[in-house]
């Protein structure tokens, strides 16, 4: 049987960003913060900056699934923003450390189906 590879369109594949500002004054608030952060990490999100995480999704439907999962687990207090951008838009991002340009994260390797 021939081996088929899936190619992802730069317009259909998405990057889902989660940006949050959660209170951490009390022990309960710190626990909520940690649970939310661990949920992001357990679901394949990568820390881009402090309180900014991103995850590559092969389609908008997959991004919507992760959005729903995060909405169900929102902490009771604080701000959380979700933003989905296409892979092409993500590739146009400029990244700097100080005045030096840095490389942006690349999407994960493509899957091979047998």
pLDDT tens digits for 11-27? 589 999 999 999 999 99
Helix (H, G, I), strand (E, B) or coil at 3: coil
Q: pLDDT confidence of 33, banded at 50, 70, 90? A: very high
Annotated binding residues, written as ranges, equal: 21
Cβ atoms within 10 Å, residue 36:
19
To the question of pTM greater than 0.75 for the whole model, the response is yes
Instruction: Name the residue among 14, 13, 25, 18 with its Cα closest to residue 73.
Output: 18
d(CA 19, CA 55): 12
Q: Which CATH architecture has domain 12-102?
A: 2-Layer Sandwich (3.30)
Annotated binding residues for Mg(2+), written as ranges, equal: 21
Contact 82, 67 (CB under 8 A): yes
The DSSP element (H or E) to which 30 belongs, if any, is helix 27-42
- Residue by residue, DSSP assigns 55-92 as EEESSHHHHHHHHHHHHHT--SSSEEEEEEEEHHHHHT
Q: pLDDT confidence of 114, banded at 50, 70, 90? A: very low
pLDDT in tens, 69-107: 999 999 999 999 999 999 999 999 888 989 888 887 777
| C-alpha distance across the termini of the chain, in Å | 8
Share of the chain above pLDDT 70, in %: 85
Beta strand 95-97 with 4-5: parallel, antiparallel or unpaired?
A: unpaired
Where in the chain are the domains? 12-102
Mean pLDDT value across residues 61-75: 96
């Amino acid at each position: 049987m021939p081996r088929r590879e899936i190619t992802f369109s730069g317009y259909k594949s998405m990057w889902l960003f989660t940006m949050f500002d959660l209170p951490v004054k009390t022990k309960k608030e710190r626990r909520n913060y940690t649970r939310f952060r661990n949920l992001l990490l357990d679901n394949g999100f990568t820390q881009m900056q402090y309180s900014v995480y991103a995850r590559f999704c092969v389609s908008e439907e997959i991004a919507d699934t992760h959005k729903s999962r995060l909405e169900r687990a929102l902490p009771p207090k604080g701000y959380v923003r979700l933003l989905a951008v296409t892979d092409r838009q993500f590739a146009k991002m400029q990244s700097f450390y100080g005045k030096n340009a840095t490389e942006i994260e690349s999407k994960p390797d493509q899957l091979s189906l047998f």
